[in-house]
Structure 1
Amino acid sequence: MSDTLTPVTVLTGYLGAGKTTLLNRLLSENHGKKYAVVINEFGELGVDNDLVVDSDEEVFEMNNGCICCTVRGDLIRIVGGLMKRAQKFDGIIVETTGLANPAPVAQTFFVDEDVKAKTRLDAIITVVDAKHLLERLNDSPEAADQIAFADVIVLNKLDLVTPEELQAVEDRIRQINRFAAIHKATRADVPADKLLGLNAFDLQRVLASVPDFLEEDSHTHNEHLSSISLSTDKPLDPEKFNLWIGHILQTQGQDLLRTKGILSYKNEDRRFAFQAVHMIADGDFLAPWGADETRVSRLVFIGRDLNRPALRRGFESCAA
């Protein structure tokens, strides 16, 4: 991805997890950079309350629970306005307070051409409350969605749990998302360089960061949410892959929270990074494969009710 694009960090997490504390830390830390902040809270959008309620109602019905169009429209306008200002920012932080699911915000950076031309989604950070997470996962599927979407997880409020409780929470997080980096914190005290400017959503090193993730498929028992990783050392045919993945996203997109991968195409020396949020996909060529590097295509699905054998067969059928 081009260095001229402004990186955007999406900050999500359940009410009370510590998002605002983390945001204040990031803004006050002495890193010498300038960040624009967008608080994506309905009460602070400056939209007439009646209008929000009406559109909220419709959108909930249309998008399977995702608060979508209202938020996306506002976010496109805000980000577009920020990009036109003379003052340049080192990055934009979007705090999704009041939004259970980060998908609509993430999708904004795929669907709007103006936003896409000037910004790139750097990472989705989810803040979780170590004390209450297990309870939240039992009574709220949205809490699992937030973890599944995350590139980085801040496991906060360590001072409120015993080492045994912490281990149980970490194990549960890993059931839902085996691939996100986890940073433990007491009062959201994670250095900015561990959270900002990571290029995590662009996948240059996401899959390589967990060397053993291909050893087995990981399943969870939370609302049928699972993560499945596939790999093949045969070069892929880009047309076959695009047809197959397009069909998967079209037919199963509502249940696919995140899809991401590094692909090796036939007759192509560069890696291809593929990523999708629900039905909306994007991709870009990255640096070339190393001369002595084994070219392995890896693809990860995180979603509900995934059919591992069917996905594996489909992926392998994309071989050139």
Structure 2
Amino acid sequence: MTTTSKDTRVPVTILTGYLGSGKTTLVNHILTNKDHGKKIAIIENEFGDVGIDDALMAKNTKAHIEEEIVEMMNGCICCTVRQDLVVVLNKFAGRIASGNLKLDCILIETTGMADPAPVAQTFFVDDSVQEHFRLDGIVTLVDAKHIEQHLDEEKPEGAENEAVEQVAFADRMILNKMDLVDKADVERITARLKSINSSAPIITAEKSKVSVDLVLDIHAFDLKKTVDMDPEFLNTDNEHEHDDTVSSICVVEDKPLDLDTLQRWVNYLLVNKGTDLYRMKGVLNVADSEERFMFQAVHMIFNGNFDEPWEPSEKRESKFVFIGKNLDHAELKEGFLACIQTPDLVAKRKLALRFAVGDAVECRTADGYVPGKVTQHLYRDDFMPPGVTAPYQIQLDDGKLIWAPEDDDKYIRAKDALFAEKKAKTEA
């Protein structure tokens, strides 16, 4: 009678999914979930040469396993930095063998442009990796709002459609952002995913919130099934080829940004370039704010908020990453740098205002429009939200000081404007 010894190798999950599908959000969810009690190492890969996800996860990694966060930069993990993955894993193996590190599992968060197959291949073609680590499963995040667009995208000859590959090689799919689609959309998308990969279970989620047990140590990867699907899976001579029309640009700047100018520019990009801008994300140093502004966008869906205060020892700088198709790098960099708060920019904003200091105006209050006069341009005080500068401070006729949030008739207008409007209508 023979017995099979328990596999003591460290299980490794490959977390993949197209740009903006919610991978970093899922990693954050795992890091903040204390119930699983697992010692996890995170290996994350950025497509460009400036890291953003490390900052997006900073709060949670500090509280959890900061010393085991490894970031691999300036390339896609499925091709140019694949050997770096082997180096990182072998370092982990050495520390485990020496007794200096205890790991229950490893989570590899790939860039959204990664084909998971070459990453998975690493666990079968490198002897040292295969000895110490077990590929546990490929978990693919699917952006329910945008997945069809990416599955249908035409690629240049020879280039693979990464979104299709990520679905095809999944051992488990998480259909994310369910709050952004309706029932008919879900039925259609599910059928489409099943037509590509009928064997992978599909789990639905909002904001990447799923049980950790559905992601880690799931014993889902089946080498025979994978080779049956892709006979060339273990062929190391086949190189993954990206669509060279897709690129990234990373901008780093230490001068503070003007929030109003930044918001207007980002809104312009979302409206006019959203189709080709697959992903935008940033950690921004905004003028008149002691907090970092964390920013993410997927096509035309935007999410941004002021996060934690800058640490005293932390360098206050902005990092902005764009990933998309046919990007004009010079235009994007110029637009970003135009958001720096300079004396010229401040002067330009003042010149664009409709009312001069001293002008008689009417301001909308809880009591309706109340007369007053402009006392200051681009006003700010400590009670205002981070980064916000009001176009006007106004002194009402009763002496009270207020500020107008926008230079718009909804909030501030010329004195007697309503009377003049009624008079014009009567005369007409």
Q: Which residue in the other structure is 1:180 paired with? A: 200
Is the counterpart of residue 153 in structure 1 residue 107 in structure 2? no
Q: Does 1:25 align with 2:29?
A: yes
User: Which of residues 211, 224, 228 is equivalent to 1:191?
Assistant: 211
The aligned residue for residue 316 of structure 1 is: none
**Shift in alpha-carbon separation, 1:6–1:98, aligned structure 2, 3 A:** same
Q: How does 1:297-312 map to 2 (within 5 A)?
A: none
Aligned mate of 1:13, from 12, 17, 22: 17
Letter in structure 2 aligned against 1:199: H
CA contact 1:106–1:277 (8 Å) conserved in 2? no
1:114 is aligned to 128
Task: Name which structure has the greater RCO, CA cutoff 8 Å, separation 6+.
Answer: 1
| 2:227 corresponds to which of 259, 264, 275 | 259
Task: Using the TM superposition, give the Cα deviation of residue 279 of structure 1 relative to its aligned residue in structure 2, in angstroms.
Answer: 3.6
The answer to whether the 8 Å contact 2:121/2:233 transfers is: no
Does 2:89 correspond to 1:79? yes
CA distance in structure 2 between the aligned counterparts of 1:46 and 1:75, rounded to whole angstroms: 8
Post-superposition shift, 1:129?
Answer: 0.6
Task: Report the residue type matching 2:36 in the other structure.
Answer: H
Whether the 8 Å contact between 2:16 and 2:116 is mirrored in structure 1 is yes
Of residues 115, 131, 144 in structure 2, which corresponds to 1:130?
Answer: 144
**What secondary structure, in the 3-state scheme, does the structure 2 residue paired with 1:26 have?**
helix
Structure 1 residue 278: Cα displacement:
3.1
**What do the CA deviations read for 1:157-188 (whole angstroms, capped 9, x no partner)?**
00000101111110100000000011100111
Q: Give yes or no for contact 1:107–1:277 (8 Å, CA) kept in 2.
A: no
Q: Secondary structure at the match of 2:81?
A: helix
Equivalent-residue separation in structure 1 for 2:105 and 2:231 (angstroms): 21
Contact conserved, 1:103 with 1:277, CA < 8 A, in 2?
Answer: no
Native 8 Å contact 2:19 2:113 kept in 1? no
How do 1:34-113 and structure 2 match up within 5 A?
34-42=39-47, 43=49, 67-68=78-79, 70-85=80-95, 86-113=100-127
* Residue of structure 2 in register with 1:287 after alignment: none
The one-character-per-residue Cα deviations of 1:224-266 (angstroms, maximum 9, x if unpaired) are xxxxxxxxxxxxxxxxxxxxxxxxxxxxxxxxxx325xxxxxx
Please name the residue that 2:353 is paired with: none
How far residue 88 of structure 1 moved from its aligned partner, in angstroms, is 1.2
TM-score with structure 2 length normalisation?
A: 0.43
2:272 corresponds to: none
Count how many residue pairs are aligned between Structure 1 and Structure 2: 199
Point out the structure with the larger helix share.
1
3-state SS in 1 of match to 2:152: helix
Aligned residue in 1 for 2:339: none
From the CA coordinates, give the structure whose radius of gyration is larger. 2
Distance, in Å, in 2 between the alignment partners of 1:26 and 1:277 is 34
Compute the displacement of 1:99 (Å): 3.3
Once structures 1 and 2 are overlaid, which stretch shifts more, 114-123 or 70-79? 70-79
Letter of the structure 2 residue corresponding to residue 12 of structure 1:
T
CA distance in 2, matches of 1:4, 1:93: 17
1: CA distance, partners of 2:44 / 2:107 = 8
Distance 1:110 1:67, change over 3 A: same
- CA shift, 1:142, in A, is 1.6
Q: Which residue of 2 aligns with 1:280?
A: 234
Instruction: Determine helix, strand or coil for the equivalent of 2:208.
Output: coil
1:57-102 deviation per Cα after TM superposition (whole angstroms, max 9, x unaligned): xxxxxxxxx942x322100000111122211100000011143311
Q: Is the 8 A contact 1:127 1:155 kept in 2?
A: yes
Deviation string for 1:120-172 (max 9, x for gaps)? Answer: 10000000111111111111522111000000000000000010111111010
CA contact (8 A) 2:44 2:72 kept: no
Unaligned runs of 5+ in 2: 52-70, 155-160, 236-428
Aligned residue for 1:167, secondary structure, equals helix
Give the CA deviation at 1:46. Answer: 6.1
Q: CA deviation at 1:194?
A: 1.2
| C-alpha contact (below 8 Å) 2:16/2:112 kept by paired residues | no
Q: Would the alpha carbon gap of residues 162 and 142 (structure 1) be closer, same or farther in structure 2, given more than 3 Å must change?
A: same
Q: Taking every aligned residue pair, what percent have the same amino acid on both sides?
A: 46
Taking the aligned partners of 1:181 and 1:164, their CA distance within structure 2 comes to: 19
Residues 103, 28 of structure 1: alpha-carbon distance in 2 compared, 3 angstrom cutoff: same
Distance in 2 between the 1:202 and 1:278 partners? 15
Aligned equivalents of 1:101, 1:277: Cα separation in 2: 16
For the 8 Å contact 1:71–1:105, the answer to whether it is kept is: no
